[in-house]
Amino acid sequence: MSAPILAFDEIDSTNAEARRRAEAGEGGPLWITALTQTAGRGRRGRDWESPIGNLAATYLCTTDKSAADAAQVSFVAALAVAELADACVGAERVALKWPNDPLVMGLKASGILVESGAFAAGGLWLAVGIGVNLAHSPVAAERPATSFAEHMQAAPPKPREALDLLAAAFDRWLTRWQAEGFAPIAAAWTARAHGLGEPCVARLPGEEVHGVAEGLDPDGALRLRLDDGQIRRITAGDVFFGAA
């Protein structure tokens, strides 16, 4: 059974609300959603546009996993978004780009931001923020983006309808991750992966690394084979394949 849903018409950020609740001692599980955000955030401090008609939601929960292992929940979220996209635009159009960018026809259609913190009594809280471009593409996107509506003949689902589908998929993958570890998550993610075997550039703080994407390590790091044959593990950063 999926977690309860707390819905707002407008909020600064669903992740910020999850953080406030966690820092007040609340641990979920709980979905927090809003029709629009006034200060939505993406990865690396980027702004995230949240027009009415798109989905903005955050899952708040607790975990006993280490911070490094807990970060794998971003792959869980990506698989859940991919299943939502399958239902709307067709699985043949959906792919996942490392670390957690769901793509439709090679264009970014969703963003995932995972934040966490420690409880004084032990354990971590996790805020898994998910934004999905259901009806609208961002106006000021840094990279090519799209919306589900651009690939559908019918109208896209309403945000609450989409959240119901997303939450059910997220719950299934979260249960597998908790019971079986990262291996089945990594396998499912790899089956949908965009760009494996292709040249790419990883933009890291202070450097760019060029190589060929070979796949995931057991902890979720991306393996890049460099020109000299060495393997470089990418644990954080932005990876670009051509125009995507």
Each residue of 101-126: pLDDT tens digit?
A: 999 999 999 999 999 999 988 899 99
Each residue of 67-100: pLDDT tens digit?
A: 989 999 999 999 999 999 999 999 999 999 998 8
- In this prediction, residue 143 carries a pLDDT of 73
User: Rounded to whole angstroms, how far apart are CA atoms 195 and 108?
Assistant: 14
In this model, does residue 244 exceed pLDDT 60?
no
- In this prediction, residue 50 carries a pLDDT of 78
Is the C-alpha dihedral spanning 93, 162, 50, 12 positive or negative? negative
Each residue of 206-220: pLDDT tens digit?
A: 889 999 999 999 999
Mean pLDDT of the chain: 92
- In this prediction, residue 243 carries a pLDDT of 43
Specify which residues 6 forms β-bridges with. 32
Ordered structural domains, the chain, with CATH: 5-191 (3.30.930.10), 199-240 (2.30.30.100)
User: Using alpha carbons only, what angle is made at residue 220 by residues 29 and 57, rounded to the nearest 5 degrees?
Assistant: 30
What does residue 201 show for φ and ψ, rounded to 5 degrees?
A: -125, 130
Q: 150 Cβ partners below 8 Å, 6+ apart?
A: 137
In this model, does residue 48 exceed pLDDT 60?
yes
In this model, does residue 47 exceed pLDDT 70?
no
Q: 220 Cβ partners below 8 Å, 6+ apart?
A: 71, 72, 75, 99, 182, 186
Each residue of 171-185: pLDDT tens digit?
A: 999 999 999 999 999
- In this prediction, residue 140 carries a pLDDT of 62
By C-alpha distance, which of 219, 230, 190, 200 is closest to 95? Answer: 190
Q: How confident is the model at residue 3 (pLDDT cuts 50, 70, 90)?
A: very high
Q: How confident is the model at residue 1 (pLDDT cuts 50, 70, 90)?
A: low
Output the DSSP codes for 175-219: HHHHHH-SHHHHHHHHHTBSSTTSEEEEEETTEEEEEEEEEE-TT
- In this prediction, residue 138 carries a pLDDT of 84
